[in-house]
Amino acid sequence: MAVGVFDSGLGGLTVLGALQTRLPDVPFVYYGDNANTPYGVRDADDIYTLTCAGVERLWAEGCDLVILACNTASAAALRRMQENWVPEGKRVLGVFVPLIEALTERQWGDNSPPREVAVKHVALFATPATVQSRAFQRELAFRAIGVDVEAQPCGGVVDAIEEGDMILAEALVHSHVSALKRRMPRPDAAVLGCTHYPLMEEAFRAALGPDVAVYSQPDLVAASLEDYLNRRPDMLGTGTKSLCLTTGDPIAVGHKATWFLRRKIDFRPA
């Protein structure tokens, strides 16, 4: 009954932590492609190839349902995977839709036509590859009309977080927020469109100011998965054990992951 969680590096651990808290009886198999991180500077074909390889590895662990806990993979690869690659009986879901449904105040799985919503000006902070894909804007257009999105590629933030340099990461956050505000001075809402960014949520909130609603993904994705599994319990795979896999050095990745989640995590080679 395991569910797979794919990530390009370590940011998806923020999602994994929320999933384990919300669904403590579900085994999760986490796959971090740490040998090839970051994805945010790679081209779409490269991201697609690497993501497919990771998802296949999770299927091999008995995970019929895989969550792409990586916005870059969700943006650059998910639609292509769903249309041309995912076989019958398997599902791959991304992290954008739960966030957009919360932003537009729609119920999980509401597929009614797009309509006007309260939020009119949205700031999107994401990796360069996610911004370039325009996947967030495309998914938003399925659910809402009349929303202006200003996207800011946040180069360097993921690297600083993964290196543990939070002073640099905070400085970069403030710089990127300032750059966006020059183009959109008064956003109604801000979307943290990278699973690393919840670790910098306080810095984003401080730079944006108290009048901007900030949307972060981990808890929203966990609530969405709980709802999905209540409706589709058949998508729980045959796997029975929780484990963490990495394409990188298991010891080094484990040390960084322990810092991310504030608890010890052991990784095995993927």
The residues carrying an active-site annotation are 70, 194
Q: Beta partners for 124?
A: 151, 191
Q: Among all chains, which residue has been given the structure tokens 């690659």?
A: 85
- Write out the DSSP string of 92-129: EE-SHHHHHHHHTT--TT--SPPEE-S--EEEEEE-HH
Which of 4, 14, 10, 9 lies closest to 92, judged by CA? 4
Cα-to-chain-centroid distance, residue 141: 19
Q: Among all chains, which residue has been given the structure tokens 């319990």?
A: 233
Q: What is the Cα–Cα distance from 124 to 254, expressed in whole angstroms?
A: 30
Structure tokens at 184: 């959109």
- What is the gyration radius of the CA atoms in the chain, in angstroms? 18
Element spanning 83, H or E: helix 78-84
Return the exposure string of 197-222: e unless at least 16 CB atoms fall within 10 Å of the residue's CB, then b.
bbbbeebbbebbeeebbbbbbbbbbb
